[in-house]
Structure 1
Amino acid sequence: MTSGRWLPYGTAQRPQIMAHRGASKAERENTLMAFAVARTMGSHAVELDVRRCGSGELVVHHNPVLDDGSPLTAHSLKDLPSHIPTLDAALDACAGMWVNVEIKNDPSEPDFDASESITRDTIELLRRRGAPDQWLVSSFRRETIDETARLWPELPTAYLVVDVDDPASLAKDLVSSGHQALHPYVKTLTRETVETMHRHGLAVNTWTCDDPARMVELIELEIDGICTNVPDVALKIAAN
């Protein structure tokens, strides 16, 4: 049963195929070209990672450090490698798709922001750009999505997890906190987790699946979204 679960504005199609950091098998991840190719392939959505650079701007980059090992926060925007886009530029490149904005805010990393100012600034930017149904904000840090839901209740939010020990308790907690989706790791995802989340009205979007056989299994589980490095492959499988 699929009624009542979150879907992006203007669509009723499941599963939604999310290009993980763009079409990252075809192009360098989290780049404007990766996002453009994802759109050309027909992806429904893009997943991208948000951090703050040393001069304060929101940029799209997965790791807290650059390729040379230096912290992202040690570099101003003008000194960053040219392939790293601002969040604004990335969202421009994703026009025509909805965007899963993952806020990177890990206490173990050098750019950790306990004050959640990165969350507030991300929400302010998204508000400026349009309706909340264009976006889904996700994070591994529960406080980050809780703050997002508090600041903009209409903005869909999702909790990223590696393991789910007690699906029923987690589902009740997420619903009571105003969240719309769970994003579990594909290698630990179980039928019980999917069915439990669905019973509570939560969408389940899994990451990161590049295996065609597993994609078929996920579709049979009535998964809501598949985050993948090969959206072209996933789209073909979903169409069949």
Structure 2
Amino acid sequence: MRFALGFLRLVGKLVLALVALVLIVAAVFAVRYRVWDPDPLDHLYAGADGVLVLGHRGAPEVAPENTIPSFLAALALGADGVELDVVMTADGELVVIHDFEVDRVTDGTGDVREMSLEEVKALDAGSWFSEAHAGTRIPTLGEVFDALPPDVPVNIEIKSVSLGTDGIEKVLAAFVAERDLYDRIVVSSFNPITLWRVKRADADIPTALLYAPDLPTYLAEGWGIPIVLPDALHPEKSMVDAAYVEETHRRGQRVNVWTVNDPAEMERLIELGVDGIITDRPDLLRDVLAETGGK
């Protein structure tokens, strides 16, 4: 009997200690959230006429997605900047591709993360799109920046689906620092832990949290925002209404919406006052902006 009572007292103390720890952690994050001062990301919007136009993987209806021809086509169609995806090869090189597997957009098979850069570079990333683009290669992130004009803003999305990491955040942070790209980029991800690692690697790198209504609740509801403190939010278009834009702007964050290809939806979002729109059709968005005056 005494043993049982002693055990219950011990359990009670442990529960109280756990509750206290949870409250302390919650209080710490609450204080951080209240004093948090997001980066206004003025560098991304300096050249935009109203809403920032970002080509989603470039201009994927004109050229193979996430390739240099696609990014250059997006700019030719009126995009202010481009959105792209990065994955790291087995030998630590950052390459621009949306999927972990190369199967969908090349003539090869396999997981980029298990391939060397040489193996990735041997693949044809253009023939699937058209004969005119046969021989197009998956670019490295460095090659993309070398090909773009020096004032073009770039949204770099890190592909990540787990709590673990292959070290891509540190490699990307080193890349940004080496090229001094702080005033040209924002790093985004659906994974809040990934963004937390980016900030740990380099607190000066601006970040944005991607999310959508079909994700698990803790992601769809933005539970990670007070933890990772992103400078911008990148919601799926259906999540955005006047209250969303107002509340996000009140916190000092930018709102960049994805992926918007319908003219009526573009106009709705422009009227709501979003800061940026990620689209497969930068030419169409540019036309809508001209018709609405960018407001």
Q: Distance in 1 between matches of 2:41 and 2:117?
A: 35
Q: Distance in 1 between matches of 2:55 and 2:139?
A: 17
Q: Distance in 2 between matches of 1:66 and 1:170?
A: 30
**Counterpart residue identity of residue 120, structure 1:** K
Unaligned runs of 5+ in 1: 108-112
Question: Alpha-carbon deviation of 1:134?
Answer: 0.5
Question: Alpha-carbon deviation of 1:6?
Answer: 3.1
RMSD over aligned CA atoms reads: 2.5
- Cα 1:63–1:131 shift into 2, 3 Å: closer
Percent of counterpart pairs with the same letter?
A: 34
Q: Distance in 2 between matches of 1:146 and 1:228?
A: 26
Which segment drifts farther, 17-26 or 37-46? 37-46
Say whether 1:23 aligns with 2:62: no
Q: How does 1:117-196 map to 2 (within 5 A)?
A: 117-163=167-213, 170=222, 174=225, 177-196=228-247
Question: Alpha-carbon deviation of 1:175?
Answer: 6.4
**Counterpart among 67, 70, 90 of residue 54 in structure 1:** 90
Q: Distance in 2 between matches of 1:176 and 1:69?
A: 37
Question: Alpha-carbon deviation of 1:136?
Answer: 0.4
Partner of 1:209: 260
Question: Is this contact kept in 1: 2:56–2:82, CA < 8 A?
Answer: yes
Give per-residue Cα distances to partners, 1:50-93, cap 9 Å, x unaligned: 00123321100000101154211232211221421111001222
Q: Distance in 2 between matches of 1:42 and 1:195?
A: 28
Say whether 1:92 aligns with 2:146: yes
**Counterpart residue identity of residue 219, structure 1:** I
Q: Distance in 2 between matches of 1:54 and 1:150?
A: 23
**Counterpart residue identity of residue 95, structure 2:** V
Ranked by relative contact order (alpha carbons within 8 Å, sequence separation 6 or more), the top structure is 1
* 3-state SS, counterpart of residue 19 of structure 1: strand
* 3-state SS, counterpart of residue 25 of structure 1: coil
Partner of 1:66: 102
Q: Distance in 2 between matches of 1:13 and 1:199?
A: 22
Question: Is this contact kept in 1: 2:48–2:80, CA < 8 A?
Answer: no
Say whether 1:77 aligns with 2:131: no
* 3-state SS, counterpart of residue 62 of structure 2: coil
**Counterpart residue identity of residue 209, structure 1:** V
Q: Distance in 2 between matches of 1:7 and 1:116?
A: 31
Question: Is this contact kept in 1: 2:96–2:140, CA < 8 A?
Answer: yes
Partner of 2:15: none
- Cα 1:74–1:148 shift into 2, 3 Å: closer
Q: Distance in 1 between matches of 2:182 and 2:66?
A: 22
Unaligned runs of 5+ in 2: 1-38, 125-136
Partner of 1:110: none
More helix by share: 2
Partner of 2:72: 36
Question: Alpha-carbon deviation of 1:179?
Answer: 2.0
- Cα 1:128–1:214 shift into 2, 3 Å: same
* 3-state SS, counterpart of residue 99 of structure 2: coil
TM-score normalised per structure 2 = 0.71
How many residues align structurally? 230
Q: Which has the larger radius of gyration?
A: 2
